[in-house]
Structure 1
Amino acid sequence: MARIVIVSNRVPSPTERGPRAGGLAVGLADALKDGGLWFGWSGEISAQADGTVKRVEAGNITYATIDLSQADYDRFYVGYANSTLWPLLHFRLGLIDFRREDLEGYIEVNRLYAAALARELQPDDLVWIHDYHLIPLGQELRRLGVKNRLGFFLHIPFVPASLFTALPQGNTLLWAFCAYDVVGFQTEQHRRDFVDCIEQLLGLTVRGDGTVVAGAVSMRAIANPIGIDARGFAALAAKGERSAETRRLKESLVGRSLVIGVDRLDYTKGLPARFDAFGRLLNAFPEHRQKVSYLQIAARSREDVSEYQALRRELDRKAGNINGRFAEFDWVPLRYMTRAVSRNTLAGFYRAARIGLVTPLRDGMNLVAKEFVAAQDERDPGVLILSRFAGAAENLTEALIVNPYDPDEIAEAIHTALVMPADERRDRMAHLRARVFDVTAETYCRNFLAVLKG
């Protein structure tokens, strides 16, 4: 049986616990259940970043990592990946900060990854590369003579040709996609936008099944939504409901309804409009004052990027304004924290919440929405409020779908959720849970690898 090789920008340590153990590590666990290799950056900055591979064996999985230099990190990660590609692919053209030297650094680091990875590969390995940091990696592997089946999955959105043309030398990146045998996207819309770019900007023909054939190029674009281990997370939530942390949270609410938001501190998550919406709820629907508390967990990230620093200052100011305006001596309406919380604790918090507030301006999928659904008590479930621009909205249609740019619409949805009858809450959640339990992390891995095997 072919060995599975996972490649991502950051490799999770096999000993990591807590918040970092979520996300990609959880989503890809099923791909490596029979063993394999996980390759990528160690997370370390080193003066001797020469592509030397460090290996850690954990069970039947090998974790292989390389270090980056400070210059590599600045140009590849902070520069091109997160100051150019991230805003572009989240439809935020005004935030793009492009520098030619960053693009060169991005390509050089992908070349470094390729040289190190090629030495690790066996002839029949299936190689599955993940996310926007590593788009050129397949092309660099091909240049080194690697013949293995190569797959790529983009976890964030894609944009139509009319926006992609804003990317300097963007066609070079599109051609890099064509080095893969399979390219996967979270939603059918993202796949269509990618196909739009391939056809309009490269002039290639895409068949009905998403296959691009041009000379030696044969690449297939598919939509394959990622899921969670729904059964496992539901069990975690049931257990977490009895945890000391969840008991403390419930006691602090004193019978009030809980609205919860859980995000990275990122300008794509729509947090300023979400804070505004909660303030407008309390202003427009005063009957909810002192009867609802909003907990926003926004773990800090990319603190060396100026836009993230500005966002944190803005949210600090908005939180202070809302609490200063509406708080009572025994009630703080908005609880805002910027440190990460473990998945175990979050599972219990989700189950305790009456509303899950998930309103990104643009998101590839958003697994928080699926975790909130899986965590609910079917007898007395909460309500999911979901941005129409989250990939999850393509499937989770029984949520209250909102435009994240409209704080008044979000406020009205929170009001609707707070007064929604129990029968309607149970009916909506039953449909949502059926979908979350059907499209899981296991089906995501199984479906992509089935296509990649050919």
Structure 2
Amino acid sequence: MKDLVVVSNRVSIPEAGRSQAGGLAMALNSALARHGGMWFGWNGEICHDTSPQPTQTRRNGITYATLPLNAEQHNDYYLGFSNEVLWPIFHFNLGAMKFHRHHAQVYYATNQHFAEQLSKLLTGDELIWVHDYHLIPLGEALRRQGSHAPMGFFLHIPFPSAELLRCIPGHRDLLASFFAYDLLGFQTPQDLETFCHAAIRILGAKRSDNVLRYGDQRLKLGIYPVGIDVDTLQREAQHSETKQAVRQLRTSLGGCALIAGADRLDYSKGLGERMLAFEHLLDDYPHYRRHVLYTQVASPSRSAITEYDDLRQQLESQAGHINGLHSDLDWVPVHYINKTYPRTALMGLFRAAQVGLVTPLRDGMNLVCKEFVAAQDSRDPGALVLSELAGAAHELEGALLVNPYDPHAIAEALDQALQMPHEERCRRHASMLASVRCNDLTRWWQRFLDDLGYAVSS
């Protein structure tokens, strides 16, 4: 069996006494533990060196090779091209794109630097799995370094239409760089089809089933929806009921129904539209006043980017407006929290909620909605209101699907969720839980790595 090399923008090194950063990190560590190998990427630090070098750490038989970014790489590769060009375009937000040619040059140069540093650590008998939009050109850079290893790429975010992709200067080179990989994985069938359309229309690639050919390069495509560790999350949710903070939360509700959301602070999550929808719920369905609470956790993110700071201020203003208009001395309808909580605390929040509210404007998958499903007590589950533009909408047919751009429609769905009979809630929840179990986190990485081996040998 070949060793596995995972490459991602950020690397999560397990530390004794600390919980794993998230479900995805647990999955990748699980895959590495099964195959043996190395996880390579940025360690989250910024240095003054012009050419940062990796350091290696061993944990439980896995090598973590991490390196810092210098200030230029952090500003131009990470904050600049990755998160002010690729992120907004891939999330269908052309208005947020800020292109600078130098940022693009540093993006490609940083990928080349990563490839050079990683190549020094390879023995030639590995399976390489590259993750997400920060590292699209890495495969091509590794091929230039002489690597012939089987190489797969997984895109965690949506893929944009050909028309949107064309808005990125240099889009042809970016699109062509995917063909350095042997296997390209997407979250949904729609993303796969959108990529094929762009490759055929822009590059003139030829398609045969789920294989694309461009020149002498052959790229196999697959659909691999990211999942969660259902059993672990269910245990955490059940255990949360013994925690004092969760008991206090339930007591503080005072008999009110809880609507809960927990997201990274990002314009793609539809948080402003969601806040407006809750205001419409109180205005259009006044019988919910004093009988419902909305708690929204928005974890800080990319504060160095202006749009994110503007969004934080907007949400604070919206929450203050709703509370100022509707609150009583003993009832405050919106609890907006701009703070990062451990996953165990969020599972307790979801466990206590009657409604999960997850309405991104666009999302590759969205695991929050799946975590909400896992957290619920199947004997008396809550209902899920979910954006139809989240990748998870393809799987969670038991959710109430909404257009995330329509706050009135979201308010109507919240009313339906709050009024939903027990039997219907149980039926919908059972359907969603079965789907989440079918496509869990272990199945995700096993299917991708199995197909990567097949894609190379076929």
Opposite residue 50 of structure 1, the aligned amino acid is S
Identify the residue that residue 142 of structure 1 maps to in structure 2.
143
Opposite residue 368 of structure 1, the aligned amino acid is V
Opposite residue 328 of structure 1, the aligned amino acid is D
Matched ranges for 1:314-325 at <5 A: 314-325=314-325
> 1:378: how far off?
0.6
- 2:206 aligned with 1:205, yes or no? yes
Contact 1:241 1:349 in 2 (8 A): no
- 2:435 aligned with 1:435, yes or no? yes
> 1:28: how far off?
2.3
Identify the residue that residue 174 of structure 2 maps to in structure 1.
173
Contact 1:19 1:340 in 2 (8 A): no
Structure 2: where are the runs of 5+ without partners? none
Q: 1:30 and 1:429, CA in 2 relative to 1: closer, same or farther beyond 3 A?
A: same
Identify the residue that residue 222 of structure 1 maps to in structure 2.
222
Opposite residue 41 of structure 1, the aligned amino acid is W
Identify the residue that residue 11 of structure 2 maps to in structure 1.
11
Contact 2:24 2:441 in 1 (8 A): no
> 1:236: how far off?
1.2
Alpha-carbon distance between aligned partners in 1 of 2:17 and 2:275, rounded to the nearest angstrom: 30
Contact 2:23 2:229 in 1 (8 A): no
Contact 1:225 1:365 in 2 (8 A): yes
Q: 1:88 and 1:395, CA in 2 relative to 1: closer, same or farther beyond 3 A?
A: same
Matched ranges for 1:188-203 at <5 A: 188-203=189-204
Identify the residue that residue 52 of structure 1 maps to in structure 2.
53
Identify the residue that residue 184 of structure 1 maps to in structure 2.
185
Contact 2:275 2:319 in 1 (8 A): yes
- 2:321 aligned with 1:292, yes or no? no
Matched ranges for 1:25-40 at <5 A: 25-34=25-34, 35-40=36-41
Identify the residue that residue 368 of structure 2 maps to in structure 1.
368
**Post-superposition CA distance 1:413-439 (Å, at most 9, x none):** 111111111001001001000001110
Opposite residue 77 of structure 2, the aligned amino acid is F
> 1:23: how far off?
4.8
Q: 1:170 and 1:18, CA in 2 relative to 1: closer, same or farther beyond 3 A?
A: farther
Identify the residue that residue 81 of structure 2 maps to in structure 1.
80
Contact 2:370 2:436 in 1 (8 A): yes
Opposite residue 65 of structure 1, the aligned amino acid is T
Alpha-carbon distance between aligned partners in 2 of 1:142 and 1:289, rounded to the nearest angstrom: 61
Secondary structure at the counterpart of residue 176 of structure 2 = helix
Of stretches 17-26 and 384-393 in structure 1, the one that deviates more from structure 2 is 17-26
**Post-superposition CA distance 1:155-193 (Å, at most 9, x none):** 000012122111111010011100000011100000100
Alpha-carbon distance between aligned partners in 2 of 1:19 and 1:323, rounded to the nearest angstrom: 35
- 2:164 aligned with 1:163, yes or no? yes
Equivalences, count: 453
Runs of 4+ in 1 over 6 A off after TM superposition: 16-20
Alpha-carbon distance between aligned partners in 2 of 1:347 and 1:141, rounded to the nearest angstrom: 40
Contact 2:402 2:413 in 1 (8 A): yes
Contact 1:90 1:363 in 2 (8 A): yes
Alpha-carbon distance between aligned partners in 2 of 1:49 and 1:62, rounded to the nearest angstrom: 25
Q: 1:211 and 1:356, CA in 2 relative to 1: closer, same or farther beyond 3 A?
A: same
Contact 2:52 2:70 in 1 (8 A): no
Identify the residue that residue 356 of structure 2 maps to in structure 1.
356
Opposite residue 125 of structure 1, the aligned amino acid is E
**Post-superposition CA distance 1:368-409 (Å, at most 9, x none):** 010000111110000010000000001111100000000000
Opposite residue 399 of structure 1, the aligned amino acid is A
Opposite residue 220 of structure 1, the aligned amino acid is K
What RMSD in Å do the two structures reach over aligned CA positions? 1.3
Alpha-carbon distance between aligned partners in 1 of 2:338 and 2:108, rounded to the nearest angstrom: 33
Opposite residue 185 of structure 2, the aligned amino acid is G
